């Protein structure tokens, strides 16, 4: 397992972070995998988009799977989130929708 973002890699992580208006990009190379994560929030939508690009820099075939972990808070206190956060899956788009009850 690995992560293309700085956390939870630790202080020795060699991840390049670039920040701009409405976006953050993380780039990292490890195990011959060039990794790029673009996180952005469109001005016109109340959504966060995460684009992951992985390029195999080696000659060998690689089999990868991607998993995204989200800990929804939607407020100021993490401890209260389980009591306030309601999630559902949109049957038409497959999107996960989360709101504060």
User: Where are the domains positioned within the chain?
Assistant: 1-59, 70-101
The architecture (CATH level 2) of 1-59 comes to Single Sheet (2.20)
- pLDDT band for position 68 (cuts 50, 70, 90): confident
Residue that has been written with the tokens 């998993």 in this structure: 67
- pLDDT band for position 80 (cuts 50, 70, 90): confident
The mean pLDDT of 60-72, rounded to a whole number, is 88
* pLDDT for the residue 11: 67
Q: What is the pTM of this model?
A: 0.72
Which tens digits make up the pLDDT trace of 5-37? 877 766 676 788 899 998 999 998 888 999 999
**What is the 3 state secondary structure string of 26-81?**
EEEEECCEEEEEEEECCCCCCCCEEEEEEEECCCCCCCCCCCCCCCCCCCCCHHHH
């Amino acid at each position: 397992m690995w992560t293309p973002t700085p956390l939870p890699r630790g202080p020795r992580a060699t991840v390049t972070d670039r920040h701009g208006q409405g976006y953050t990009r993380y780039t990292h190379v490890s195990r011959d995998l060039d990794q790029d994560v673009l996180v952005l929030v469109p001005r016109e939508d109340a959504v966060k988009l995460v684009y992951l690009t992985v390029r195999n820099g080696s000659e060998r075939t690689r089999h990868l799977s991607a998993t995204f972990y989200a800990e929804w808070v939607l407020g100021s206190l993490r401890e209260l989130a389980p009591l306030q956060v309601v999630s559902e899956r949109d049957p038409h788009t497959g999107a996960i929708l989360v709101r504060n009850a």
